Chain A
């Protein structure tokens, strides 16, 4: 683990947040403008995946990554 890893973890939080925010805005535009529904589903699944991977750290399940007591 290199020294600036802690910093990058906070920054990653910002990046993920920005991505989610932009996607939500896109959703809103699509939803209020009668665009095909399929886009909404795709975006929702993509957002869900972001949360699962970066916020909930699903990878920790399988290994000791990020392990602490």
Chain B
């Protein structure tokens, strides 16, 4: 009884199952970041680490723009526009790398404290480090879908990997939406 319609339906059901799994992973991972956020307020309270405001705004904008292109990429592949998909994904990935360079390369170098210098330093490096690690894995994920996208492996009907990568990317962005104010804006220096 494997009519094409039922296998299609079966596959759609499978994707739905995978989607639930992905979201449960987000839920689980969110607890790591929630723990760090709580620790930040428990330990630092109203104080915030002394950081480069301009740089913070720049990296935040970079990540936001990358999210925009990520969204485009997913929409484009679902419309069958493969070329545009590849371009958008490439831009997203490059912006992700720029973000990493901005945080790890510049912010870590410019910060007036090291990880061992007091609890501000500890919290700052832990939070940005954990987030940067997720961005890094996201970049790897993007590289994979980029490569497979160039090879023509995705179609409007079949691009679960793209959806998963995009969602992961947005999730990492979502974390930064909370980490950015917690590190840069809330409290006084």
Contact = CB atoms under 8 A, between A and B. Distances in A.
A60 to B, nearest CB: 6
B128 interface: no
B64 A6 contact: no
A28 B185 contact: yes
B177 A51 contact: yes
Interface residues of B, number: 44
Interface residues of A, number: 37
Nearest to B187: A37
Given A13-B75, A68-B158, A69-B11, A40 B185 contact: yes
Interface in A18-57: 20-21, 24, 27-28, 30-32, 34, 37, 40-41, 43-44, 47-48, 51-52, 54-57
Given A31-B184, A48-B178, A68 B78 contact: yes
Interface stretch (B12-20, B114-122, B129-137): B12-20
Contacts of A31: 181, 184-186
A15 to B, nearest CB: 11
B144 interface: no
A34 B8 CA distance: 56
A49 B86 CA distance: 27
B15 A48 contact: no
Interface of B: 8, 11-12, 15-16, 19-20, 23, 53, 57, 60-61, 64-65, 67-68, 70-72, 75-76, 78-79, 156-160, 163, 166-167, 170-171, 173-174, 177-178, 180-181, 184-188
17 contacts: A10-B72, A10-B75, A13-B71, A17-B64, A17-B65, A28-B53, A28-B185, A31-B186, A37-B187, A44-B177, A51-B67, A51-B170, A55-B71, A55-B173, A67-B15, A69-B15, A69-B160
